[in-house]
């Protein structure tokens, strides 16, 4: 389950379900880097871009590497300010743990019963940007029931 957790985190690093998120500024403020923001301005942070930044993830930032989430055999905790897939700070997603349980249980129960072969592996599906990041045309796969010897 540790590796599956890491693989899901890595997938969401490269393909965050909420790829951009916008906030409205309540009062005049100054960001830690000195940028001035005024009351009622909008500030958008780009989770999709942050997941692909060399300064955060290193030179292999474009590679899908679940191992980057594993340290001494256990899943590493990452700062939500470096990995804002579930947002960060006091208004962070309240369903994060439940979402991981759901994603892991669905993946495990599907993989237990079926073999999934992704078609057109050489091509990455086009993105469809809405409030959430989706795949244009979905992900065509071939499904075969897994044969388990009794
Ligand atoms: C992979 C799945 C999920 C992702 C990527 C995700 C991501 C996010 C993000 C980015 C926010 C911040 C939105 C914003 O303030 O602009 C958020 C907020 C929230 N999420 Fe999730 N979420 C997921 C699943 C869930 C689930 C399963 C639940 C409930 C069972 C949930 C409940 C909430 C709630 C209640 C908030 C609002 C928190 C607040 O404003 O104080 N989320 N989520």
ipTM score: 0.97
* Residue nearest atom 7 in ligand 1 by C-alpha distance: 86
Distance CA 138, CA 6 (A): 23
Total-model pTM: 0.92
15 CA → ligand 1 middle, Å: 16
Distance CA 53, CA 81 (A): 13
96 CA → ligand 1 middle, Å: 7
Mutating to test ligand 1, I would choose from 16, 93, 130 the residue with most ligand atoms within 8 A of its C-beta, which is 93
**Considering only CA atoms, which of 94, 82, 9, 11 is closest in space to residue 45?**
82
Distance CA 3, CA 66 (A): 7
pLDDT digits 0-9 by tens, 53-94: 999 999 999 999 999 999 999 999 999 999 999 999 999 999
**Considering only CA atoms, which of 83, 87, 32 is closest in space to residue 57?**
83
User: What is the model's pLDDT at position 1?
Assistant: 83
User: What is the model's pLDDT at position 129?
Assistant: 80
Q: Taking residues 99-107, what's their average pLDDT?
A: 97
- Kindly give the interhelix angle for 2-14 and 96-113, rounded to the nearest 10 degrees: 110
User: What is the model's pLDDT at position 39?
Assistant: 98
């Amino acid at each position: 389950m540790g590796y599956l957790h890491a693989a899901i985190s890595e997938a969401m690093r490269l393909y965050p379900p909420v790829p951009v998120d916008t906030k409205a500024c309540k009062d005049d403020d100054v960001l830690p880097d000195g940028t001035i923001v005024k009351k009622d301005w909008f500030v958008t942070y780009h989770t999709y871009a942050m997941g692909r930044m060399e300064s955060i993830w290193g030179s292999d930032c474009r590679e899908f590497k679940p191992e980057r989430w594993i340290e001494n055999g256990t899943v590493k905790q990452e700062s939500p300010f470096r990995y804002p897939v579930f947002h960060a700070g006091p208004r962070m997603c309240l369903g994060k743990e439940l979402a991981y349980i759901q994603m892991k249980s669905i993946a495990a129960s599907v993989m237990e019963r079926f073999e999934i072969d992704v078609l057109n592996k050489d091509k990455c599906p086009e993105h469809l940007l809405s409030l959430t990041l989706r795949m244009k045309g979905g992900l065509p796969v071939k499904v075969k029931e897994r044969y388990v010897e009794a």
